């Protein structure tokens, strides 16, 4: 059971393709595990066992007939509950949409199903991907399986928890100000925010149109590359989608980093904000490890972290208020306190402030891309601290903005968060790698070299590994 729980996509795909593992057996095992664990961790808002088992039977039938669709065929996946799956409610973890049944699949759901993946259910999120962690919603917030009762990051919280706890090998999240990379950092998994426009957002409830991304979440780098391979591609029905060729993301995974030129943005986590000492040391050790593997690593300076944070905050609040203003007028009491407060903040921001923020975004993007010239990628912090207790509201409020993810929502560049060790209290630490637009493959190559030289992805929460 434990072996199946922490089986990755690549390994499971080989077993399924050669008929050594039945998709039905696989799904049934993970459904059983989730049934035993999720009353503690609350990763799922809704399991869909009947749909999942029907999909597994169909996948098994196709494989028996010689029709293997690729490495996601028969693989269990989960969707953050702002992503549509036909016939299943998309609630955004909110009373506002508790009866909102999706009429059709989101484009990313279509692509998963076309690749043979099986949707096992809908995963917890912060309310409308902005209000959390909250205890005044129809469902409790997801809880990190690392630590006793810790915050899992957000807003793709259920996705991170399900992966870390061995309930799923693959999940989708969304990232507007860091919401794929935050739970990846807090839960000790891998989360990619692709280049803006790389993955369709059609059928995904928006938070802020100009900053929203959909991203793959897995336990390992190879699995993440396999998942993005299926998700990426132009969608003419998403106005933000870009018609740019899609790379073969797994092709160069084992090439290593020898000869690559990497930038290190230390001022984000030692000057602009001071990271927790164990987190800062983990990033510095990662830089030294990459040097030892043959990369050239040199410090660079970008704009102050606070400039990116201010820009992001204004844009998100304004665009979120524009999306929610009708529901807020008609049903304000159906929102949780945190989401209502954060979205209503946008009502106080003027059009002038919004335009100024978008102009600042242009300047920050140009400056950032200029500093990336001559480099293959950049590394820096993702979260500045390990997870705090989820039931400590003051600690969560203090922790949430202490991060270095927002700069790359502003610029739209691809960014991946990967495990970088553990604290003395056995809480995950993380590292963020950032690339040139459309160069996700390079980030996977570097992340895989680091992953191969460490054993962080082989560790799982002790409380759930034995379950």
pLDDT in tens, 391-423: 999 999 999 999 999 999 999 999 999 999 999
Residue 466, pLDDT above cutoff 70: no
Span 153-180, pLDDT tens digits: 999 999 999 999 999 999 999 999 999 9
Write out the two tokens for 29. 């095992």
Average pLDDT over residues 76-91: 98
179 is annotated as an active-site residue: yes
What confidence category does residue 465 fall into, taking pLDDT thresholds of 50, 70 and 90?
Answer: low
**Could you tell me where the DSSP H helices lie in 243-387?**
267, 277-292, 305-330, 337-344, 351-371
Strand-by-strand arrangement of the 190-193 sheet: 44-47, 118-123, 76-80, 170-175, 213-218, 190-193, 415-422, 428-434, 377-380, 261-264, 296-299
Catalytic residue among 22, 159, 179, 247: 179
Average pLDDT over residues 231-237: 98
Please tell me the predicted confidence (pLDDT) of residue 467.
59
Write out the two tokens for 306. 């606070």
Please tell me the predicted confidence (pLDDT) of residue 420.
98
* Alpha-carbon separation of residue 56 from 53, 117, 171, 234, 319 (angstroms): 5, 9, 17, 28, 40
Residue 150, pLDDT above cutoff 70: yes
Residue 111, pLDDT above cutoff 50: yes
Residue 463, pLDDT above cutoff 90: no
Average pLDDT over residues 301-316: 98
Please tell me the predicted confidence (pLDDT) of residue 2.
53
Catalytic residue among 22, 94, 155, 200: 155
Residue 1, pLDDT above cutoff 70: no
Closest CA to 265 of 295, 305, 296, 294: 305
Positive or negative CA dihedral for 243, 76, 105, 205?
negative
DSSP 24: H
122: CB partners within 8 A, 6+ apart = 44, 45, 46, 48, 78, 79, 80, 81, 83, 85, 88, 89, 90, 91
Separation CA 428–CA 456 (nearest Å): 9
What confidence category does residue 464 fall into, taking pLDDT thresholds of 50, 70 and 90?
Answer: confident
Q: What percent of the chain has pLDDT over 70?
A: 99
Instruction: For residue 262, list its beta bridge partners.
Output: 297, 377
Residue 104, pLDDT above cutoff 70: yes
Are the C-beta atoms of residues 402 and 153 closer than 8 Å to each other?
no
95 is annotated as an active-site residue: no
Span 217-229, pLDDT tens digits: 999 999 999 999 9
Q: Tell me which architecture the domain covering 2-306+355-465 has in CATH.
A: Alpha-Beta Complex (3.90)
**pLDDT averaged over every residue in the chain:** 97
């Amino acid at each position: 059971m434990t072996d199946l729980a922490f089986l990755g996509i690549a390994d499971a795909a080989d077993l399924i393709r050669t008929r050594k593992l039945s998709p039905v057996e696989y799904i049934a095992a993970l459904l059983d595990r989730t049934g035993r664990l999720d009353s503690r961790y609350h990763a799922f808002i809704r399991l869909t066992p009947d749909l999942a088992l029907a999909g597994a039977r169909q996948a098994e039938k196709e494989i028996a007939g010689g029709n293997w669709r690729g490495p996601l065929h028969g693989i269990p996946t989960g969707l953050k509950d702002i992503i549509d799956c036909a016939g299943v409610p998309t609630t955004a973890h909110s009373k506002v949409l508790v009866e909102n049944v999706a009429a059709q699949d989101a484009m990313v759901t279509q692509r998963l199903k076309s690749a043979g993946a099986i949707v096992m259910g809908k995963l917890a999120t912060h309310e409308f991907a902005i209000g959390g962690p909250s205890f005044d919603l129809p469902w409790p917030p997801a809880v990190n399986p690392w630590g006793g009762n810790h915050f899992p990051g957000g807003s793709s919280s259920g996705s991170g928890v399900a992966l870390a706890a061995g309930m799923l090998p693959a999940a989708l999240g969304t990232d507007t100000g860091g919401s794929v990379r935050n739970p990846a950092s807090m839960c000790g998994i891998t989360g990619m925010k692709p280049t803006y426009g790389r993955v369709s957002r059609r059928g995904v409830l928006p938070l802020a149109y100009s900053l929203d991304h959909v991203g793959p979440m897995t336990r390992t780098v190879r699995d993440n590359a396999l998942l993005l391979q299926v998700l990426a591609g132009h969608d003419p029905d998403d106005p933000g989608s870009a018609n740019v060729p899609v790379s073969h993301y797994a092709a160069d995974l084992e090439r290593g980093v020898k000869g690559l030129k990497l930038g290190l943005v230390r001022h984000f986590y030692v000057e602009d904000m001071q990271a927790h000492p164990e987190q800062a040391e983990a990033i510095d050790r990662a830089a030294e490890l990459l040097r030892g593997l043959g990369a050239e690593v040199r410090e660079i300076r970008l704009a102050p972290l606070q400039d990116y944070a201010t820009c992001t905050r204004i844009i998100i609040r304004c665009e979120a208020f524009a999306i929610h203003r009708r529901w807020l007028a008609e049903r304000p009491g159906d929102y949780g306190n945190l989401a209502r407060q954060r979205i209503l903040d946008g009502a106080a921001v003027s059009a002038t402030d919004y335009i100024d923020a978008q102009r600042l975004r242009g300047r920050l993007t140009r400056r950032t891309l200029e500093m990336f010239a001559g480099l293959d990628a950049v590394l820096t912090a993702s979260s500045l601290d390990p997870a705090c207790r989820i039931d400590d509201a003051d600690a969560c409020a203090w922790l949430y903005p202490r991060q270095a993810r927002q700069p790359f929502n502003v610029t739209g560049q691809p960014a991946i968060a990967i495990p970088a060790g553990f604290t003395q209290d056995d809480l995950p630490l993380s590292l963020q790698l950032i690339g040139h637009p459309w160069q996700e493959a390079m980030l996977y190559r570097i992340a895989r070299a680091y992953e191969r030289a460490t054993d962080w992805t082989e560790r799982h929460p002790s409380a759930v590994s034995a379950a």
